[in-house]
Amino acid sequence: MIQTIIKLLISSGIIILVSEIAKKSSYLGGLIASIPLISVLSMIWLYIDTKDIESVKALSNSILWMVIPSISLFISLPIFLRSGFNFYLSIILSIIITIGCYGLTILLLSRLGIEL
């Protein structure tokens, strides 16, 4: 239980840190947010919990494939915002597009025989 609380505090602390830094510098906030901290922390937590290198390798591989469709959010969101959509509609539409891209990626990978 204490380990779960530590994970929660560290992970949420990073989100708070990025949002606070972004208030002062969007460039620096973006730089920190773009570092795959959540991915790295997830692999660390998984290894600490299981000591299973194969699980860490599988997670790392899955993250690699899922980075590609996640880029659609960062492409579509500024387009919607520049087009005059309000923030909440823009983020919802961008998330829907990203979910669709995830689905297409998973479908494509399965047809190519790549298992996640």
Give residue-wise pLDDT tens across range 93-105: 999 999 999 999 9
In the prediction, which pLDDT does 92 show? 98
Residue 116 has pLDDT above 80, yes or no: no
Say what the pLDDT of residue 1 is.
Answer: 83
Give how far the C-alpha of residue 100 lies from the chain's centroid of Cα atoms, to the nearest Å.
Answer: 15
What does the H/E/C string look like for the chain? Answer: CHHHHHHHHHHHHHHHHHHHHHHHCHHHHHHHHHCCHHHHHHHHHHHHHHCCHHHHHHHHHHHHHHHHHHHHHHHHHHHHHHCCCCHHHHHHHHHHHHHHHHHHHHHHHHHCCCCC
Write down the domain spans for the chain.
52-116
Q: Is the pLDDT of residue 51 over 80?
A: yes
Amino acid present at 12 = S
**Is the pLDDT higher at 53 or at 114?**
53
- Assess whether pLDDT exceeds 90 at residue 37: no
